[in-house]
Amino acid sequence: MRIRILREQYCAKCKIKAPRSTGVRLLLEAVEKTPHRVLDFGCSTWRNSKYLENLGAFVVRVDTLPNTRPDIVAYPTHMPIRQKAFDIALFTHIFMFLQSKQEWPQVANELVRISKGYVVVETYRVKHKEALTYEPKEIENLFRNNHIKILRKYIRQDLQVFVISTIFIN
């Protein structure tokens, strides 16, 4: 499984020491109050979960790999979570680890399905032969094409972050 290979070679060696990600910072700038119910998918160090829990949020951790000790083990195309169960869905550094880009629209739909407020997507260009390659516009267009409102975005050559509102979805 691509996720396992890349997690062992990428995430396990992560040197990031910041208490929360850029996506969480942008989210907190965009919303009026700290979200109550948060789904955190990815980032096996769970730094965003810990940060939001310290602000009073109830966080459910989800990952495809059980050794990261998530609350729920699931693949992002089919999450065993009821519709609109969370205020926020964080999707941190996962798109480039999926099996193929053909899964991206289904994952975007799942994130919108489970969130009743916002989705935060962070992607990072991984320099590994097994990583999916993409242009930042591909991620942005994935959400624009699904008629989802992008509230904030932060784009660098190696990092792309989107804060998306699902409130306007019918």
pTM, to two decimals: 0.85
Asked whether the beta carbons of 158 and 135 are under 8 A apart, the reply is no
- For each of the domains in the chain, give its residue range(s) and CATH number, in order of start: 2-11+21-165 (3.40.50.150)
What is the structure's pLDDT at 68? 82
Mean pLDDT of all residues belonging to the chain:
82
| The pLDDT of residue 169 is above 60 | no
Give 81's pLDDT tier (boundaries 50, 70, 90).
Answer: very high
What is the rounded distance in angstroms from the CA atom of residue 10 to the CA atom of residue 81? Answer: 28
- Which pairing describes strands 86-92 and 58-63: parallel, antiparallel, or unpaired? unpaired
What is the structure's pLDDT at 19? 67
Give 168's pLDDT tier (boundaries 50, 70, 90).
Answer: low
